[in-house]
Amino acid sequence: MHSAPARAMDGTARCPPKDSAERVDGPGTAHASTGGYATGDKGDRVMRRWPTVIDFSDVGCWAVTEALGPTTVRFVIGVPADRSVPADRAVAPRRPWADQGWSG
C-alpha cells in the first residue's frame, strides 16, 4: 500500500495528525479532534499548526500519541479530578491563536 507524504515540498502539512489516547491506570475512552490547518506570521517566521483537542472520559493517567507523517510524539499526562473553573475566575471564550497572528 502506498500513501501520500504528510508534508508538501514547502514543509506544509497535507493531512492532519493522527491522535490517540489510552488510559494507563484503568478503563476509559478518549476522543481526539483536529481543527483546520492554521498559519500565521511571528516576526520573520511563518508558523504552522494543526489545533488539536483531546477529550478524556475520566480522571487518571493517560498515554497520548500524535503522529504526523514519519514523526511520532508520545507523552503521559495526568488528568486531575477537579477540572472546573470557579465562577469568579471564568473568562469569556476566546481564540488565543488569533492574538498571535494565527488563522484557522
Contact 26, 60 (CB under 8 A): yes
pTM of the full predicted structure? 0.61
Mean pLDDT by 10 residues, the chain (104 residues): 43 77 94 84 81 89 91 91 62 50 50
Q: What nine digits make up the cell of 61? A: 493517567
- Give a three-class secondary structure readout of 16-33: CCEEEEEECCCCCCEEEE
**Nearest alpha carbon to residue 17 among 41, 40, 42, 34:** 34
Residue 9, pLDDT score: 44
- Parse the chain into domains and list their residue ranges: 11-78
**Would you call 63 exposed, middle or buried from its count of C-beta atoms within 10 A (0-12, 13-18, 19+)?**
middle
